[in-house]
Amino acid sequence: MRLYYILAFAALSLFSSCQLYEDAPTGMGRPGVVLDDEILSLYKLLGSSPHGWRGVMIPGSYQYGGINFCFKFDDKTMVDVSSEDGGAVRSTYTLSQSDGVRLTFDSSNSRIGRYASPDYTLLQGLEGDFELRLESVSPDGKQVVFTGIYSKNKLVLTRLDEEPEEYLAKAKAVRDALYGKALSPLKLGGKEANISVFGLARQLHVTVDGESKLMPIYFTPEGVNVIAPDDVMDDKPAERVGQIGTEILRSLQVKKEGDAYKVLAPDGTQQLDIQETFYDLTQGKIKMYFYEGWASQDFVDVLTSINGTPASDGKDAVPGLISRDRWYQDRTT
């Protein structure tokens, strides 16, 4: 009797298996064929933009804001990657099948590695992606949306209509104009907000009614965009990032007037001055980051000359301590 049960079960399994495959798509509709066609189409699309694509990489700990990247793909295996950090670095990429279509930057690239390397320890914000999953392509082929495999954040690639270095230069000009600066008070939502720009961490430091908070941002040629969780992940509920009084701050416009830059409130009715001040290092101590080529050579020489100087009598601080970031070899802290 047991043998009959076994034979009957085997026959049922065989019938079910056959039925399963009979109902499955055949010919060009088979899943593997569909994915192969999708991969080939994406290779062609990515390689079809003569100027490449721009996008903002938002690290996993998105509170540190986003970084502008440009990618110029060919339709085979090579890609030139440039960013706010520097010019194009060439490496390879692949498109493959892995729970959908996956884009992998599969050889070393210092532009991506700056944020995607797993052993980097300077900031929690350096948790970027070198692998991304395709989510969608716009009907006109001008935008391609990916999701980071590690961060789960969106990376929206937009077709460039100018060379990457031209686009990045505009975004960097805005960044440099605001980097480390304060803005004259912004009135929004019935409140007055005092705003400072933390360029390295890509944050706005906003104080309203004596309470301060940090808002993650990224720079564009037009100004500053504030990032909220719903801008980053589909499955992460939006918090009220950008809340000032009864309004939500999502962007600030930055316009050049002559040799100076001006900041405009979202409604365009308020013009905010970009302010800077002096810090008396004899009255306190401060940790700073500066870049050779950005800071004056005189400033670099002074700090280098006092490197490791013993503390003065009655002082518990070493006047200067210089170290080098292993990713930014031209940076001194």
Mean pLDDT of 44-72: 93
Q: What is the pLDDT of residue 314?
A: 54
CA dist., res. 5 & res. 12, Å (int): 10
Residues in a beta bridge with 154: 147
Domain boundaries along the sequence of the chain: 34-161, 168-275, 278-333
Give the highest mean pLDDT range of 164-178, 257-271, 284-298: 164-178
Mean pLDDT of 122-135: 77
Indicate whether 27 pLDDT > 50: no
Provide the percentage of residues in the chain whose pLDDT is more than 90: 49
34-161 and 168-275 in the same fold? yes
Which range is least confidently modeled, 201-205, 252-256, 315-319? 315-319
Q: What are phi and psi of 275, to 5 degrees?
A: -115, 150
Check whether 304 has a pLDDT greater than 90.
no
* Backbone angles phi and psi of 62, in degrees to 5: -65, -5
Find the farthest-apart pair of alpha carbons in the chain and give their distance in angstroms, rounded: 98
Helix, strand, coil percentages for the chain (3-state, nearest 5): 25, 35, 40
pTM > 0.85: yes or no: no
Environment class of residue 195 by beta-carbon count within 10 Å: exposed (0-12), middle (13-18) or buried (19+)? buried
Instruction: Quickly state the pLDDT bin for 214 (edges 50, 70, 90).
Output: very high
Confidence of residue 260 (pLDDT cuts 50, 70, 90): confident
HSE-CB at 145 with a 13 A cutoff on CA atoms is 12
What is the per-residue pLDDT for 154? 93
Confidence tier at 4 by pLDDT (50, 70, 90): low
Residue 123: which pLDDT band, with cuts at 50, 70 and 90? very low
Which pLDDT belongs to residue 22?
Answer: 53
**Spatial separation of the C-alpha atoms in residues 207 and 209, rounded to whole Å:** 7
For 81-127, the DSSP string reads EEETTEEEEEEE-EEEESSSEEEE--S--HHHHHHH-TT--S-TT--
Give the model's pLDDT for residue 289. Answer: 62
Report whether pLDDT(109) > 80: yes
Give the count of alpha carbons within 13 A of 101, CB side only: 22
Long-range contacts of 273-278 (CB under 8 A, 24+ apart): 273/183, 273/184, 274/177, 274/178, 274/181, 274/182, 274/183, 275/181, 275/182, 275/183, 275/184, 276/180, 276/181, 276/182, 277/182
The CATH label, of 2.30.30, 1.10.1060, 2.40.128, 1.10.3470, for the domain at 34-161 is 2.40.128
pLDDT higher at 96 or 25: 96
Give residue-wise pLDDT tens across range 42-53.
999 999 999 999
Tokens of 284: 């306190």
With respect to CATH, is domain 168-275 assigned 1.10.760?
no
Q: What is the pLDDT of residues 130-180, one digit of tens each?
A: 999 999 999 999 999 999 998 899 999 999 999 999 999 999 999 999 988
Residue 113, pLDDT above cutoff 80:
yes
Higher pLDDT, 311 or 35: 35
